[in-house]
Amino acid sequence: MGKTKKTLEELEDERSALEQEAYDEKTKLLNRSQFQELLELQNEEEPEFVAEIVEMYLADAKEMLNELSKLFSEEKVKEAEDGKPNYNTVRAVLHKLKGSSSTFGADGVQQKCEELREHCINEDLDKCRTGEGSLEELQSNVDILSEFLAKYTAKIKEIYELSQEAKADE
């Protein structure tokens, strides 16, 4: 016996539940109004829009995290004349990540950027590397967001495909 196919209503409920999870104050994954606006940009003619934006934002974020990782690496710090990471460059990268995160609606990532920025201002290398407000935490936040967005975009694809099937049956 095959699996019972979900109805459009069930899928929409699942999508709503995912959104609630993202907008929850405790998880701080996504900003409701900013992300909703992005979702509204997707339509029948561009059913891949949100998936494309997600891919773009995450690729960009990961590139910046790699850059930050290199800037805080033992190698780079030892190379420096003053034995410190280039905090100005770190702050510039953080600023860029913060900007794209705010447009995308990734509030949690934005907040972690600010926390790390504070550690940079205080030139506290240990706190920059691990613990609260560290690069490690920022990376973890991006990973969690990435997992969530994979689930979410898969869900909206499922909804789109089912709604197309329903139209074809009419």
Partner 1 sequence: MIHVLYAEDSVPTQFIIKRLVNRIDDIELVCVNDGKAALDYCKNAKDGNKRPDIILMDCQMPVMDGLQATREIRKLDDPILSRVPIVAVSSGIKSMNEKDCMDAGMDDYVAKPLNQQALTNIL
Report the interface residues with partner 1, using CB under 8 A.
Answer: 33-34, 37-38, 41, 49, 52-53, 56-57, 60, 92, 95-96, 98-100, 102-105
11 or 22: CB nearest partner 1: 22
4 or 88: CB nearest partner 1: 88
102 or 146: CB nearest partner 1: 102
Nearest approach in angstroms of CB 63 to partner 1 is 10
5 and 169 Cβ atoms separated by less than 8 Å: no
Strand partners, 46: 43
Say how far residue 166 (Cα) sits from the centre of its chain.
32
11 or 68: CB nearest partner 1: 68
Query: Amino acid identity, residue 37?
Result: E
Tokens 């606006």 sit on residue: 37
Query: Alpha-carbon distance 26 to 24, whole Å?
Result: 5
Nearest approach in angstroms of CB 53 to partner 1 is 6
144 and 58 Cβ atoms separated by less than 8 Å: no
Nearest approach in angstroms of CB 123 to partner 1 is 17
61 or 135: CB nearest partner 1: 61
Nearest approach in angstroms of CB 147 to partner 1 is 18
CA-CA-CA-CA torsion sign (72, 98, 28, 39): negative
Nearest approach in angstroms of CB 29 to partner 1 is 16
Segment holding 138, helix H or strand E: helix 135-169
